[in-house]
Structure 1
Amino acid sequence: MKKTYGLHETLDLHEIAAFKTICMTKSATMRGLVSDEDLRQLLDQDVELSTRQLQELDALLANVNV
């Protein structure tokens, strides 16, 4: 059964997904440019976490009935 979200809730999910995608893209790009290993590990962790979060957001958006 699909959940029914309000239009504003659906829009919020789209905005969060777009922002998270931009952040992940920046982290993925920057990790190739940094020389500090600790910073590179933080960026790697951010990319992995963002990927999981975007998958969760995608699952929520797939179940939206407006």
Structure 2
Amino acid sequence: MNYALHEVLEVHEIAAFKTTCLTKSKTMKALVTDQLLKDIMQQDIDLSTRQLQEYASILSNAKK
């Protein structure tokens, strides 16, 4: 599929931001002692990982 340049750049920007958020969540999870908060953070980590895989798929298809 052909994407406009601004669309590719927007997805790249979202992926970069999501990567930063994922890194922060993984780092902060190690410092948290409350189990409920750890569980919530793990859910966020799992969701963010799946979203980044989708963004990577979109970006790889955009380059073709």
TM-score above 0.5: yes
Q: How does 1:1-66 map to 2 (within 5 A)?
A: 3-65=1-63
What residue ranges of structure 2 are gaps of 5+ in the alignment? Answer: none
Percent of residue pairs bearing the same amino acid type: 55
1:58 and 1:27 map into 2 onto residues whose CA distance is 20
**One-letter code of the match for 1:54?**
L
Relative to its length, the structure with more strand (as a share) is 1
Q: CA deviation at 1:17?
A: 0.2
Give the TM-score of the pair, scaled to structure 2: 0.95
Q: CA deviation at 1:65?
A: 3.9
Cα RMSD after superposing both structures = 1.1
Relative to its length, the structure with more helix (as a share) is 2
**One-letter code of the match for 2:41?**
L
Give the TM-score of the pair, scaled to structure 1: 0.92
2:31 and 2:15 map into 1 onto residues whose CA distance is 25
Give the 4+ runs in structure 1 shifted more than 6 A. Answer: none
What residue ranges of structure 1 are gaps of 5+ in the alignment? Answer: none
**One-letter code of the match for 2:36?**
D
| Alignment length (residue pairs) | 64
